[in-house]
Amino acid sequence: MPELPEVEVVRRHLDRELSGRTIRRASFRRRDIVLGLSSGRALARKLEGRRILSVGRRGKNLLFRIDPDAVLQAQLRMTGRFTLGERRPDPKRYRHIVAELELDDGRTLFYDDMRRLGGFRWLEAEAWRALDRALGPEPLARGFTARKLGEILETSRAPIKNALLDQKRVAGLGNIYTSESLFRANIHPARSADSLEPAEVAALHRAVRKVLREAVEAAGTTFRDFRAVNGRSGSFQRRLAVYAREGEPCRRCKRPVQRIVQAGRSTFFCAACQV
């Protein structure tokens, strides 16, 4: 599933291209990608004739701000991707287009989702505020300090990897970037979150922010499914130190990278470097 860096890359492109544009026509072809409303047509009626003020992000959610009072939430999940242009994209590459937003400048935003695990939700002001309150702080925000991270972790006895994945504690982190951050901070993923010393929390804070920034600059991580707008692939997979490298030599000590399962997800780490 796309994590904060992948969604942020998509957001930046869409915000640059869509801000100020009016939606002339909307089409949602599959009911299962419309979350909350009764039908795709009901969602289309909410959007048609309205202006996109900006495209934002909260955690792993894309947020199309529609006029001042409402937001169209988009979740990419595993295989969702956008392409923008004046013509329908190549059907060999985009075979599962399930939504279209025609804009006032003659272009159309197409949404392709092979597995249809993603989708769109219309949020009025109070619903948007509820979503915002349900999520933890943004790890790249100015207010996300080492002290703030320490306050978050000191209340949890869960393994540190699981605590970081809890979207109510920190918004946007996922399996890839938690594994990479813990490796850079030399912290074992099974350590209890409340066991970290202040120096370890500070090292983890630096690692999380640095990893996320590097991943955004690299347009995210692409193994198979993720594509930014118009098919652009990420390149951060070339920099991964532990994730998906089970059995390969650690980039520091050359001992084999190990894998364990935590909360049903694979965690990759170096037992020699991470304590």
Which residue in 2, 5, 159, 189 is the catalytic one?
A: 2
Give the per-residue pLDDT at 3. 94
Q: What is the dihedral of CA 47, 49, 54, 57, to 10 degrees?
A: 10
Q: Which residues pair with 269 in a beta bridge?
A: 258
Average pLDDT over residues 182-193: 98
8 Å CB contact between 189 and 179: yes
CATH for 4-134, options being 3.20.20.30, 3.50.50.60, 3.30.70.270, 3.20.190.10: 3.20.190.10
| Closest C-alpha to 184, from 215, 207, 160 | 207
Query: Of 41, 107, 209, 265, which residue is the catalytic one?
Result: 265
CATH 2.60.40.10 fits 146-269, yes or no: no
Which tokens hold the place of 119?
Answer: 């989708």
What pLDDT is stored for residue 271 in this prediction? 97
Verify whether residue 159 is a known catalytic residue. no
pLDDT at 29: 92
Q: Tens digit of pLDDT for each residue in 60-112?
A: 999 999 988 899 999 998 889 999 998 887 787 788 999 999 999 999 999 99
Note the pLDDT of residue 112: 93
Is 265 catalytic? The answer is yes
**Active-site residue among 58, 60, 65, 169?**
60
pLDDT of residue 68: 84
Q: Which residue has the higher pLDDT, 136 or 1?
A: 136
Distance of CA 123 to the CA centre of its chain: 19
The pLDDT assigned to 142 comes to 95
Closest C-alpha among 115, 234, 247, 130 to residue 177: 234
Is residue 166 scored above 90 in pLDDT? yes
Can 60 be counted among the known catalytic residues? Answer: yes
Local structure of 201: helix, strand or coil: helix
CA–CA distance, 168 with 166 (Å, rounded to integer): 5
- Told to judge if 126 belongs to the known catalytic residues of this protein, a careful annotator would answer no
The yes-or-no verdict on residue 54 having pLDDT over 80 is: yes
Whole-prediction pTM value? 0.94
| pLDDT value at residue 226 | 60
Gap between the Cα atoms of 51 and 214, Å rounded:
33
3-state secondary structure 55-76: EEEECCEEEEEECCCEEEEEEC
- Check whether 195 has a pLDDT greater than 70: yes
Helix (H) or strand (E) holding 91: none
60 contacts 75 by C-beta, under 8 angstroms: yes
Nearest CA to 205 out of 153, 259, 271 is that of 153
The whole-angstrom separation of Cα 133 and Cα 208 is: 22
- Ordered by start, the domain boundaries in the chain are 4-134, 146-269
Residue 120 has pLDDT above 90, yes or no: yes
Mean pLDDT in residue range 52-56? 97
Q: Which of 197, 195, 205 has the alpha carbon at shortest distance from 149?
A: 205
